[in-house]
Structure 1
Amino acid sequence: MTIRLALPPGRLRPRLSASVIREACGIPCNDNGRDDQSDALLHAALRHFAEHGLAAAHRARKQAEAAFFAGDRQGYGWWLEICRALDRRMAQDLGMAMAVEGAPANSDLGAV
């Protein structure tokens, strides 16, 4: 049995205009705007993944550790962000470990 809905004409719009759709939907939750640096970072992370496959996050972590201990803070930040793009939990663990390593109260590790 078919059910038909009878409404007076003009009460339903068969299509919404683009402005009404934009107003109703707004900006997607995962779209934080265009940021060229994050685009470059995402591109670098994807290239790193293409080169190293599933070991990419681990290799990015090793690169970040090497940069940290070499005193290259900019390189450390770059590799940490690539690691974060590939494996957020691994990057969080790395960040906490490096914070402990770089803490001045840790006298047995020496100055970094």
Structure 2
Amino acid sequence: MSIRFAAPNSPGRLPACSPIARALVGRAIERAANDNGNPVPSDQVLRAALRHFAEHGLGAASVARGQAEEAFLAGDRQSYDWWLDITRTLDRRLAVEIDRDMQEREIS
């Protein structure tokens, strides 16, 4: 017996579905794409963030934040940007917070 793979039907052509079900499926499909608003990180940053997460677990974003702060205070902008990108990949809100804090320190 052979197995066939077929592309999913478009929302308007689902067989044996009520009009309400078709409408709900159509709305769900429209919203399913990357809805978090984050730009896709580079492969290098994504791999580093995943490695960092594997090493530090759920606290990885906080550890990355600490690394970014240390780099900023040491005046190493390249390392700061690197750790900020890793923090952003793991926790967008935390990255926004640290970037805002560091910019305020820079102005002061």
State the TM-score bracket (shorter-chain normalisation).
0.5 to 0.7
Partners of 1:40 and 1:96 in 2: how far apart?
Answer: 24
Partners of 2:102 and 2:75 in 1: how far apart?
Answer: 12
Measured against aligned partners, the alpha-carbon deviations of 1:1-21 in whole angstroms (never above 9, x if no partner) come to xxxxxxxxxxxxxx88xxxxx
Partners of 2:73 and 2:63 in 1: how far apart?
Answer: 15
Find the structure with the greater CA-based Rg: 1
Amino acid aligned to 1:77: D
Query: Aligned match of 2:87 in 78, 83, 87?
Result: 83
1:9-28 aligned at under 5 Å gives the runs none
Shift of 1:77: 0.1
More helix by share: 2
Task: Report the identity percentage.
Answer: 56
What is the TM-score when the length of structure 2 is the normalising length?
0.63
Query: Aligned match of 1:56 in 60, 63, 75?
Result: 60
Partner of 2:71: 67
Query: Aligned match of 2:102 in 90, 98, 103?
Result: 98
User: Aligned residue pairs: how many?
Assistant: 74
Partners of 2:68 and 2:90 in 1: how far apart?
Answer: 13
Measured against aligned partners, the alpha-carbon deviations of 1:37-92 in whole angstroms (never above 9, x if no partner) come to 70000000000000000000000000000000000000000000000000000000
What is the TM-score when the length of structure 1 is the normalising length?
0.61
Partners of 2:54 and 2:106 in 1: how far apart?
Answer: 32
SS in 1 for 2:75: coil
Amino acid aligned to 1:57: A
Partners of 2:82 and 2:42 in 1: how far apart?
Answer: 11
**Pairwise CA RMSD:** 1.9
